Amino acid sequence: MTVIYSFYLEIIPIECDMRVVIQRVKNAQVLIDHKEKRSSGSGLLVLLGIEHADEESDVYWLVNKILNLRIFEDSNGVMNCSLLEVKGDLMVVSQFTLMAATKKGNRPSYIRAAKHDHAIPLYELFVQTAQELLPTKVITGSFGADMQVELTNDGPVTIWIDSKNRE
């Protein structure tokens, strides 16, 4: 937990969390810096936001949660299978704008987003951990690059998870 001191010196606790938006996709692709295109088939697209207070434990918890989410249909058409069970693709794209604070004014603040020196190792750990657990290749964007993401959302199924909201 991060503590922020207000103008009146009262302590205001701020919960920090690694945040993901998960989309079940038929396919996805990311175009990096208008040059390189990377594609995935059926599986999940994960948009990953990292805050300055995030730790390795957040990475391990989120990767485990994502890979085991039962959001793929079984033979009866019920969402009862995980990405691991269906052996689907996983695309991970960093997205610091998920950390936007919009409470005041109309211009989002990204003050809670982690700086590169903290975020890049956690992003790389996220990808590495997922790759170690998945039988398929993890496709990535490029951290900090200008990217365009295209996807065909399957369902649509879109889920948002914060790493500190574990209960």
Catalytic annotation present for 97: yes
What is the 3-class SS of the chain, one letter each residue? CEEEECCCCCEEEECCCCEEEEEEEEEEEEEECCCEEEEECCEEEEEEECECCCCHHHHHHHHHHHHHCCCEECCCCCEEECHHHHCCEEEEEECHHHHCECCCCCCCECCCECCHHHHHHHHHHHHHHHHHHCCCCEEECCCCCCEEEEEEEEEEEEEEEECCCCC
Rg (CA), the chain: 17
Catalytic residue of the set 7, 23, 29, 97:
97
Catalytic annotation present for 131: no
Question: Taking the CB of residue 118, how many other CB atoms lie within 10 A of it?
Answer: 16
Catalytic residue of the set 23, 72, 95, 143:
95
Catalytic annotation present for 128: no
Catalytic residue of the set 7, 23, 72, 96:
96
Residue numbers annotated as active site: 95-97
